[in-house]
Amino acid sequence: MNKTRIITIGRRFGSGGREIGRCVAQKLGIGFYDKEIITEAAKKSGLCDKFVESIDERPTGSLLYSLVMNAQNGGFAAGKPIELIAYEAQIDAVRDAAANGPCVIVGRAADYILKDNYDIMSVFITAPLPYRTRVIMDRYSLSEKEALAKVNRLDKARASYYNYHTESKWGSADSFNICLNSEPISKETAADLIIAYANGVICGE
């Protein structure tokens, strides 16, 4: 294929998508981008890392959130809402990452941002809610109630962000090349399945 292959990873909170994506990148010997996108976007926009990261951790279109964030960060810059500035900086950071060659990019609607210029293989990692709740309980030392609330909040926010900025539906099998349930398999196995699928696509199978 003439276009550079980019593997994008969407994931439900607590499903292990970030770790699986990193494993894929390590096995293939290609770049891996996750928090690096946030750091680069913060540099480009002049905003702090924490704020840029929060853009896709809160439901998009929240009027109260927008007003509060604009007030806390000096309102509007160059006639643009601060959320738009942060989002545009993330787009640039995603494109810069892809321009460096084949890689794995986690989140940030990278599949949509890059679809016209790269050979995108989009992956979505999911797992049953009880499993993901247990993972978050252990990871953050939370009660079951607290962990469930965090999982639901982050899933809702990610869906809102993705659905708002793309023409696809977050979490829908129709929106991705491959969807995996991470509960019954190891991260290594999940990575191997993604790589096997990628090889099949390359070979035209």
Q: What is the pLDDT of residues 17-64, one digit of tens each?
A: 999 999 999 999 999 999 888 888 888 778 788 877 777 655 554 433
Q: What is the rounded CA–CA span in Å between residue 33 and residue 93?
A: 10
Q: How many CB atoms lie within 10 A of CB 180?
A: 24
pLDDT of residue 73: 47
Residue 155 has pLDDT above 70, yes or no: yes
Instruction: Give me the residue spans of the domains in the chain.
Output: 5-198
pLDDT of residue 76: 45
Average pLDDT value for the chain: 85
pTM above 0.85, yes or no: no
Q: What is the rounded CA–CA span in Å between residue 6 and residue 109?
A: 13
Q: In 3-state terms, what secondary structure has residue 33?
A: strand
Q: How confident is the model at residue 2 (pLDDT cuts 50, 70, 90)?
A: low
pLDDT of residue 58: 57
Q: What is the mean pLDDT of residues 66-78?
A: 46
* Least confidently predicted of 24-33, 51-60, 94-103, 139-148: 51-60
Q: To which H or E segment does residue 180 belong?
A: strand 178-181
Superfamily of the domain at 5-198? P-loop containing nucleotide triphosphate hydrolases (3.40.50.300)
DSSP secondary structure, 187-201, as one string? HHHHHHHHHHHHHHH
Q: What is the pLDDT of residues 162-202, one digit of tens each?
A: 888 888 899 998 889 999 999 999 999 999 999 999 987 54
